[in-house]
Amino acid sequence: MKIAETDALIVVDVQNDFCPGGALAVPNGDAVVSPINRIMEQFSLLVFSRDWHPRDHCSFSQMPEFRDGSWPQHCVQNSPGAEFHGSLRVPLDAIFINKGEAPEKEAYSAFSEGTLAETLRARGVKRVFIAGLATDYCVKFTALDAVRAGFETVLLLDACRGVAPESTEAAIEEMKAAGVFICQTGDLLYE
């Protein structure tokens, strides 16, 4: 698959708290860093989203069940857990999206704050590639919103990891049904 000037790469929530040792560690979450680093220079436009919660965010629970609405405290604004993974390459000319800042509202999608679709359209973007964490939550909702916003949408499966196996499988099916193309970073590199 050939990358065009009208493509953007959206890197979703590759933050310490979603990686091994973090508050809401996704199994092998850090495995997404190498493929993302490897492909990013092919894209003329990069977007990095960050889960960026206040201390009292409504999704936080004292007895977390690791599902929607019941997470351990994670990605608190300006905390080490909210920082990007230390090995992730983060070019300064990228677009950065913070989400989940309102205490009373969950915001899984990088499009939640409402400005990303317009920003991408204004930059001439037609197709978005999506990678990062977690497949069954923020990646899924970002991909579904991208389709809804009218972008051709490609999920880079080997550059994503999910919270749990069943919800990850279900998320992949849901994305496919919505029109998301599923491919591998290798399909970009060795074209």
- Catalytic positions: 13, 99, 138
Q: How far apart are CA 182 and CA 162, in angstroms?
A: 15
Of 68 and 173, CB closest to Zn ion: 68
Stretch that binds ligand VGL, among 28-36, 82-90, 132-140, 168-176 (CB under 6 A): 132-140
- Within residues 116-175, the interface with Zn ion by CB under 5 A covers none
Per CB under 6 A, 13 contacts ligand VGL: yes
Stretch that binds ligand VGL, among 2-10, 90-98, 130-138, 166-174 (CB under 6 A): 130-138
Per CB under 6 A, 71 contacts ligand VGL: yes
Task: Please say whether the dihedral angle defined by the alpha carbons of residues 132, 134, 140 and 146, taken in this order, is positive or negative.
Answer: negative
- Within residues 30-69, the interface with Zn ion by CB under 5 A covers 51
Amino acid identity, position 91: P
Q: Exactly one of 19, 46, 134, 154 binds ligand VGL (CB under 6 A); which one? A: 134
Per CB under 6 A, 51 contacts ligand VGL: yes
Strand partners, 71: 60
The binding site for ligand VGL (CB under 6 A) comprises 13, 18, 24, 51, 71, 133-134, 137-138
